[in-house]
Structure 1
Amino acid sequence: MTLKLTIVRGLPGSGKSTLAKTLGANHYEADMFFINDRGEYQFDPSSVAKAHAWCIRMTRDSLKNKQSVVVSNTFVMKWEITPYYKMAKKFGAEFEIIECQGEFGNTHGVDSNTIEEMKKRWQKW
């Protein structure tokens, strides 16, 4: 079986998490960091960097153990994808990016102004 790192990127509500869950690999996303012991989502803006560091660490550990990974985050800017690309190369994993463009309504209450700002900053890989 081929070792693979798949990046699923898109704006909030575009279907990233739903798609990622179907890809049959270890699945990580920064939002998972904010789920408490009771399974409730408790976002803390001051911990966003920690959440992304956790996501990178989990991805690295999986690849190190020869397990394929799918990471679903917004990945608006190219620099956000770069550490994953380098990791895939380091571990000899196939690297794929999937862009979600659906509009399903986001589950974390991201307001429309924030989403519009993200659209303006969007960079092609």
Structure 2
Amino acid sequence: MNDAVPTQSLLLIRGLPGSGKSTLAKKLCQKDAAIHLETDMFMTDSKGRYQFNPKKLPAIHARCEQETRTHLDAGNSVIVSNTFSQIWEMQPYLDMAREADIPVQIIECQGQFKSIHDVPARSIENMRNRWENLPQR
């Protein structure tokens, strides 16, 4: 019998829209009882319908970061699935994990499924063009 206490962790899942980030995060949360967060969760109207508004992105990203910090401070493991096309977009999460001495892992999804939010092909191409690869260890 294994009575080991589960280790708290932070998992960042990155990828273009339609790459499978949300699906993977949901499956991992079912398995590990982690908290799943992503900016899309905070872009809904009063009836729960997704409403993308680029003007709200900075505030929405700040909210996702704050929710992550709140859950990590409470001792929960957290999975954040966002596009994270550039490394600096992950930095606040990496910093909070380092400050709390919580292990962090990054997974990059590369699937090519239909975006559940109907992100225009042009927008996805723009994200692809500014994509930064993770540094090699």
Q: What's 1:86 paired with?
A: 95
Structure 2 unpaired stretches of 5+ = 1-5
TM-score under structure 2 length normalisation: 0.88
Q: 3-state SS of the aligned residue for 2:17?
A: coil
Verify the 8 A CA contact 1:8 1:99 in the aligned structure 2: yes
Kindly indicate whether the alpha-carbon contact (under 8 Å) linking 1:3 and 1:92 is maintained by their aligned counterparts in 2: no
18-27 vs 36-45, greater mean Cα deviation: 36-45
Larger Rg belongs to: 2
Deviations 1:32-53 (A, max 9, x none): 1112332211111110111100
* Residue in structure 2 matched with residue 64 of structure 1 by the alignment: 73
What do the CA deviations read for 1:89-123 (whole angstroms, capped 9, x no partner)?
11121100000000111011211111111111111
Whether contact under 8 Å (1:14, 1:103) holds in the other structure is yes
- Are residue 108 (structure 1) and residue 108 (structure 2) matched? no
Deviation readout 1:14-63 (Å, 9 max, x if unpaired)? 00001011122101101111123322111111101111001000000011
Aligned to 2:54: 45
Deviating beyond 4 angstroms after TM superposition, the runs of 4 or more aligned structure 1 residues are none
| TM-score, normalised by the number of residues in structure 1 | 0.96
- How many residue pairs get aligned? The number is 125
Matched residue of 1:12: which SS?
coil
Residue matched to 1:19: 24
Q: CA RMSD in A?
A: 0.9
